[in-house]
Amino acid sequence: MIRSGSRLIVILLAVAVVELCLFGVIKLAKQRRPHARIFVSTPGKTVPFDDWIPEQALAVLEVGGADKIVELAFDPAFTGEKSFWSQWKPSALGWTLFRRNLEKEMGCDYPTMWHRLVQDGVTVASGPNNSFVAVAQASDAEFLKKLNNVLVTVTRKDAAKKSETNRVVEATHRDVTYWTISGGTEYHAIIGNRVVLANKLDALKAVLDCQADAGAGSLAKRADYQAAKRAAGGVATLRVSPELRQFLAKPKGDAAKEQNPLAVLLLAGYTEALKADTGWLALNADLQGQALSLRVAADCAKPKGTTAFSWPTQSDDGAWPNLDVPRKIAALSLYRNLHDFYAGKDALFPERTSQLIFFENMMGIWFTGRDLTEEVMGAVDPHIRVVVAAQQYDSAIGTPVVKIPAFAIVFRMKNPKRFARISEEAWQKAFGLVNVTRGQKAEAGLILDRKDHAGIRYTFAAFSPDDEPDHSKLDARFNYSPSIAHVGEYLVFSSTQQLTEDLIAALRKPAPAPLDGVNALLEIDGARLAEILDINREPIIRGNMLKNGQDRAAAEAGFNNYVNIARFLGHASLNLGAPDGKVAGELTFNLHGPARKQTAMLKP
Amino acid sequence: MTWTPHQQPWDRTHAAHLFRRVAFGANATELERALADGPAKTIYRLLKPAADVAAFNREMDACETLSLPELRGWWLRRMMLTPHPLLEKMTLFWHGWFGVGHNRVNHAGFMRDHIRALRAHALGKLDALLGAIVHDPAVFLAAGGANNPKALPNEYFARQLLARYTVGTGQFSPRDVTDTARAFTGYHVRGGKWRDVPTDHDAGPKTIFGQTGTWTPADFARLAAKQPALARRVVRALYRQFISEEQEPSNDVIEPLARSFAADLDIGKLVATMLRSQIFFASPAQRVKSPVELAVGICRTLGVTVPTLPLGAELAELGQNLYQPPTLKGWPGGRAWINHATIVGRTKLATRLVGNKKFPADPASPEFQLA
């Protein structure tokens, strides 16, 4: 049984996906590209309606577990918050009377009515010419029949009273009776325990045709839809046509962002998968207990050429499992061949920006003019690991007002004996230069020193707190005591001594087996992330007041939402790679959060 | 036209003019109340609001960080929300007067303390304001006075104090410069800290503004504050601030007010006299609002608070970067606020503020393209 917090996340994710898809469809419609199609499904129990949905559908949303959405939609704890649901409050007296009358006739309250109506799933599809259809499977056919009778009867009486002769119309198509109770802006039909609703008669008829012809001309018969369905792992959830993929992959605004070397390093291969001209992109969401997983698969093989640096060359190679240190907030493990990345820089990011020139100049100084590609980037192997952890502040030094987590990057050196000395020299030059620069501005400098820890001698730089008037409110610079350590074949650059020492312990453990086919693994501990946000509560709230123009109450509410979402997300991990030769990604959440109030409707 | 109190009928136009000059602007409720209260009571309330201004400022002070963009954002927010807008207007006035900018100070803490000192004395006594200024590390750094050794008195800094901050060019002698420099010896800003080194101070007799004594920086402030030339400069600057940038006032207009100001050094009283005068109400539409006045004025008039962090950056683009006046002379003001680029920017800013649109402007938005 999932908890209410988890349900909120499920809904938010579903809404986000749907919004993204609908946004894409609208944009494409404006560009007169009617062939783009999107198929989305939310996690939970689903009934396959795809053989009722016409193949012309542009966007399809399959909602499994629709009863849970209804439950949430009428949950006072949810609707009491400032949300879409709470803002949609029909207040007209006529509506209230109609609703009460409906409840009386149906013998159940309004939320229960919705619950029974969509209990076994809903599929909503949009088609050409702004047409929409929805198919819902109710708990039982009798319920649907009774509901329809009530609605038609009440509307007929009202129409007769107002002399609106054409408001309620009943007709048949392919031996199925359909009605309109709005004079042509709505059409619906009931087939067994399913109800079909459409905003245009042609759309309704198209659904009825598919149903009558046993799915001929339906979405279910499309080969690409079925391929996407299989790749996504059972339930087809998202398929994007080439047109839409091109739209999604199109650079937005600042084209320079695409040439950012760091972005290229991190995203190489994935952007190519989005841009590929053929194939599909599929998404599958699944919820098992508290574990929500979203899997994306693309019909795109591992890229070759300049972006091949991010893909293992051997079949059993890949990114290593993440490092484990105390107080870990996040960790990232990458497979990136830096030598090949930098060797292909002219093709990957041809624009020589001032930042790139500065980087190369500084690297030239630090590494004494060595060849950056061969002697520096080529000196480390492709297994790179990054770790972020909360800090415990030394009482002898004090506590900064703004508490910034420690972070470190760990490389594996190909020739530790040689590159350890080169990297040590470069590090000391860099921080010596920092000291000179700070000295020129009459700012406090770093004291460079060495320390032995667990048999490893490492180098660090730290600010002295001696001249600080209040050690409980130190400047943000006291979050840093940058260090370099050489632990066997590993090279550690860390922002703090504490994390360096934790990593020395972690790196003493035997080398892990690589994750086959994975080239990036990101993990985030939501609870720790929430903790670190909470520690910096006041500066963040104040910052939000300035950034968003909010008053304190609104900024606090926004902050609390972020913290709660981080806690709800629990442990999140993103796994990217090409396990079966096709580019794929998997995002999983181990959801947990505070218990939410249950509605009366769901009580046994 | 004289400094005698305004006697004409009090109407919405006069009230709106008063609020624009003094309080960045007024919303409909404030105008209605001003009309009901009459000019005397309204001006009194603007000078001495009933609200707990000190508590408000303490709360805002607590929010300030040592990040310059955030300091800028908090000040703009303070201007939008303060119950004492005249105090912020005067703080802004003195910020321009001293022209202390972060680009020369390079210390956000000093800049924060500098503006706080200006706020503390903005409507107080001129000698107290100058007394704070001559011990303000930001002023020392901005005006080239970081080092004042006894062996080599810093005459450059002394000249800045005399020419920019007090009596003005042509109103001091070479002796004033050398002896002012000697008065400041032993006061340094080193390693990001204010240092008072008594052994490095020249304790000998000095003659400044014709008076001889063993003067220190505090004495310099006291002597300078009493100079009629400084009083005239302040009155002229405030005339530009509150009355007109277009008309250069004659000595006949300035002199009576300068004399009374030199006698009591009360900035608040000087401002009150100006606001109650016939001249003040006879000179509408003779100032160009600075970008800060424009933005804050719109927000106060509409009663909205916008994201001030991006707003601060946008105002900097329009020529008024808080905490960073272009030179020690401050912002030139007047028609210098308007050029081909800024007029477009001001229009866009005003449109967005009135429409309460998001900040910063999205370059892809139709309204941005249109502008």
Q: What is the pLDDT of residue A334?
A: 94
Q: Which residue of A has its CA nearest to B312?
A: A546
Name residue A46's amino acid: T
Quote the CA–CA distance of A135 and A63 in Å, as a whole number: 10
d(CA A126, CA A367): 59
Task: Give the chain B residue whose CA is nearest to the CA of A541.
Answer: B63
A231 within domain boundaries: no
Question: Is pLDDT above 80 for A228?
Answer: no
Q: Which residues of B touch A549 (CB under 8 A)?
A: 304-308, 359
List CB contacts (< 8 A) between B190 and chain A: 442
- B192/A475 CB distance under 8 A: no
B310/A547 touch (CB, cutoff 8 Å), yes or no: yes
B232 vs A104 pLDDT, higher one? B232
How many whole angstroms separate alpha carbon A436 and alpha carbon A434? 5
A312 vs chain B: nearest CA distance in angstroms? 40
Confidence of residue B276 (pLDDT cuts 50, 70, 90): very high
Is residue B194 predicted with pLDDT exceeding 90?
A: no
Q: What confidence score (pLDDT) does residue A78 get?
A: 45
Q: Which helix (H) or strand (E) segment is A446 a member of?
A: strand A446-453
Which comes out higher in pLDDT, residue A278 or A259?
A: A259
Report which of B68, B64, B63 is spatially closest to residue B108, judged by C-alpha positions: B68
Output the CA torsion sign for B36, B40, B43, B49: negative
CB within 8 Å: B63 and A542 = yes
Residue by residue, DSSP assigns B220-237 as HHHHHHT-HHHHHHHHHH
Kindly state the tokens that stand for A300. Answer: 């795109």
Nearest CA of chain B to the CA of A403: how many Å? 14
Confidence category of residue A500, pLDDT binned at 50, 70, 90: very high
- Residue B310 touches partner A, C-beta closer than 8 Å: yes
Instruction: Count structural domains, chain A.
Output: 2
Q: Which of A86-90, A574-578, A584-588, B61-65 has the lowest mean pLDDT?
A: A86-90
Q: Which residue in A293, A298, A310 sits closest to A245, CA to CA? A: A298
**A536 contacts in chain B (CB < 8 Å):** none
Question: Rounded to a whole number, what is the distance in Å from the CA of B295 to chain A's nearest CA?
Answer: 14
Is B192 in CB contact (< 8 Å) with chain A?
yes
Residues A98 and A150 sit within 8 Å (Cβ to Cβ) = no
Please spell the DSSP secondary structure of A97-113, one letter per residue: HHHHHHHHHHTS-HHHH
A257 pLDDT above the threshold of 90: no
Cα-atom radius of gyration of chain A, to the nearest Å?
30
Are the Cβ atoms of B65 and A253 closer than 8 angstroms?
no
Q: What is the pLDDT of residue A295?
A: 72
Residue B77, pLDDT > 90, answer: yes
Q: What is the mean pLDDT of residues A137-163?
A: 89
| pLDDT, averaged across chain A | 79
Q: Is A281 helix (H, G, I), strand (E, B) or coil?
A: strand
Q: Is B358 on the interface with A (CB under 8 A)?
A: no
DSSP state of A475: -
Mean pLDDT of B309-331: 94
**Chain A partners within 8 Å of B74 (Cβ):** 546
Task: List chain B residues with CB under 8 Å of A547.
Answer: 307, 309-310
Q: What's the average model confidence in pLDDT over B50-54?
A: 94
pLDDT at A209 over 90: yes
Of A468 and A237, the one with more pLDDT: A468
Chain-wide mean pLDDT for chain B?
Answer: 91
Tell me: pLDDT of A333 over 50. yes
Rounded to whole angstroms, how far apart are CA atoms B295 and B292? Answer: 5
Question: What one-letter code names the amino acid at B82?
Answer: T
The answer to whether residue A230 is domain-embedded is no
Task: Give the angle A199-A201-A205 at the CA atoms, nearest 5°.
Answer: 115
Check residue A17 and give its pLDDT.
44
Instruction: Tell me if B63 and A543 make a contact (CB, 8 A cut-off).
Output: no
pLDDT band at A288 (very low <50, low <70, confident <90, very high): low
Using a CB–CB cutoff of 8 Å, tell me whether B305 touches chain A.
yes
For residue A271, tell me if it sits in a domain: no
- In order of A515, B31, B70, the CA distances from A318 in angstroms are 5, 71, 44
pLDDT computed for residue A274 by the predictor = 65
Contacts of A548 in chain B (CB under 8 A): 307
- Nearest CB partner across the interface for B106, out of A441, A546, A551: A441
For residues A525 and A573, the answer to whether their CB atoms sit within 8 Å is no
Taking CA atoms, A112 is separated from A75, A97, A292, in Å, by: 12, 18, 27
Which chain B residues touch A443 with a CB distance below 8 Å? 192
CA-wise closest residue to B146 among B105, B95, B98:
B105
Question: Span A337-362, mean pLDDT?
Answer: 89
Boundaries of every domain in chain B: 125-242, 291-370
Contact B77 A545 (CB under 8 A): yes
User: Considering the entire predicted model, what is its pTM?
Assistant: 0.70
Asked if B307 lies within 8 A of A548 by C-beta distance, the reply is yes
Percent of chain A with pLDDT over 90: 36
How far A542 CA lies from chain B's nearest CA (Å)?
Answer: 7
**B70, A475: Cβ pair inside 8 Å?**
no
Span A516-559, pLDDT tens digits: 888 899 999 988 999 999 989 998 999 999 998 888 999 998 89
Pairing of strands A383-389, A483-487: unpaired
Inter-residue contact B348 to B361 (CB < 8 Å) = yes
Q: Which region among A142-146, A250-254, A344-348, B133-137 has the lowest average model confidence (pLDDT)?
A: A250-254
Residues A210 and A308 in one domain: no
Beta strands, E only, A107-266? 122-127, 131-137, 169-173, 176-180, 187-191, 194-198
Rounded distance, CA B181 to CA B156, Å? 8
- Partner residue facing B307 (CB), from A539, A542, A549: A549
User: Cβ distance A568 to A368 under 8 Å?
Assistant: no
Which of A477, A545, A546, A547 should one mutate to test binding to chain B, selecting the residue with the greatest count of B CBs within 10 A?
A546
Domain contains A234: no
Burial zone of A278 (CB within 10 Å; 0-12 exposed, 13-18 middle, 19+ buried): exposed
Cα distance between residue A125 and residue B354, in whole Å: 40
SS3 state of residue A266 = helix
The identity of residue B310, as a single letter, is P
Does B355 touch chain A if contact means CB atoms closer than 8 Å?
Answer: no
pLDDT at A66: 64
What pLDDT is stored for residue A237 in this prediction?
Answer: 44
Q: B216: closest CA among B228, B236, B201?
A: B201
Tell me if A547 is assigned to some domain.
yes
B296 pLDDT band (50/70/90 cuts)?
A: very high
pLDDT at A563 over 80: yes
Using CA atoms, how far apart are residues B197 and A118, in angstroms rounded to an integer? 82
Q: What residue of A is the nearest CA neighbor of B193?
A: A442
3-state secondary structure B257-312: HHHHHHHHCEHHHHHHHHHHEHHHHHCCCCCCCCHHHHHHHHHHHHCCCCCHHHHH
**Average pLDDT, integer, range B50-61:** 95
User: How many angstroms separate the CA of residue A439 from the nearest CA in chain B?
Assistant: 9
A548: closest chain B residue by CA: B307
User: Which of A215, A244, A277 is at the close of a domain?
Assistant: A215
pLDDT at A379: 95
Q: Decide if B73 touches A, using CB distance below 8 A.
A: yes
Identify the CA nearest to B296 among candidates B42, B44, B22, B35.
B22
- Per-residue pLDDT tens for B200-240? 999 999 999 999 999 999 999 999 999 999 999 999 999 99
Are residues A401 and A535 located together in one domain of the fold?
A: yes
Is B365 in the A-facing interface, judged by CB distances under 8 Å?
Answer: no
DSSP structural state of residue B326: S
pLDDT at A262 over 90: no
Q: Work out whether strand A122-127 and strand A187-191 pair parallel, antiparallel, or are unpaired.
A: unpaired
Q: Is the pLDDT of residue A92 over 70?
A: no
* Chain A interface, best mutation among B102, B105, B305, by max A CB count within 10 A: B305
Domain-embedded: residue A278: no
Nearest CA in chain A to B305: A549
Chain B residue closest in CA terms to A252? B364
The two structure tokens encoding residue B272: 């009150």
A-chain residue closest to B76, CA distance: A546
Share above pLDDT 70 across residues of chain A, in percent, rounded to a whole number: 75
> What's the pLDDT score for residue A258?
52
Partner-chain contact A442 B77, CB within 8 Å:
no
Q: How much is the average pLDDT of A81-85? A: 42
Q: Which residues of B touch A546 (CB under 8 A)?
A: 70, 73-74, 77, 307-309
Largest pairwise CA distance in chain B: 69
Containing domain of residue A556, as a range? 303-590
Any domain includes A397: yes
**Best mutation target, B309, B352, B359, to test chain A (most A CBs within 10 A):** B309
The answer to whether position A596 is within a domain reads: no
| B307 at interface of A, judged by CB pairs closer than 8 A | yes
Half-sphere exposure of A9 (CA within 13 A, CB side): 29
> CA of A29, closest CA in chain B: separation in Å?
20
Could you give the ipTM of this predicted complex?
0.81
A257 CB neighbours in chain B (<8 A) are none
| More confident of the two residues A570 and A417 | A417
Res A34: pLDDT:
31
Triad B40, B245, B313: Cα angle to 5°: 95
pLDDT (tens digit, 9 = 90+) per residue, B247-256?
888 999 999 9
Q: Is the pLDDT of residue A341 over 70?
A: yes
